[in-house]
Structure 1
Amino acid sequence: MSKITYYYTSVSSNLEIKKHQQKIDMILSSKKIDFDKVDISTDAEAKNKMRELAGDPKALPPQLCNGDTYLGDFSAFDAAVEAEEIEEFLKLK
Structure 2
Amino acid sequence: MAAVNYYYSSVSSNLELKKNQQKIEMILDSKKIPYNKLDVAADTDLRDKMRGIIGDPKALPPQLFNGDTYCGDFDAFEEALETETLEEFLKLK
TM-score, normalised relative to structure 2: 0.98
One-letter code of the match for 1:21?
A: Q
Gaps of 5+ in 1: none
Q: Give the match for residue 33 of structure 1.
A: 33
Distance 2:37 2:3 in 1: 11
Q: Aligned pair count? A: 93
Gaps of 5+ in 2: none
- Give 1:55 shift: 1.2
Q: Give the match for residue 6 of structure 2.
A: 6
Q: 1:23-69 CA distances to partner (integer Å, 9 max, x unpaired)?
A: 00000000000100000000010000110111110000000000110
One-letter code of the match for 1:69?
A: T
> Any idea what SS the aligned residue of 1:28 has?
helix
Q: Give the match for residue 85 of structure 1.
A: 85
Off by >6 Å, runs of 4+ in structure 1: none
TM-score, normalised relative to structure 1: 0.98
Q: CA RMSD in A?
A: 0.4
Distance 2:15 2:62 in 1: 12
One-letter code of the match for 2:73?
A: D
One-letter code of the match for 1:51?
A: R
What percent identity do the matched residue pairs reach?
A: 65
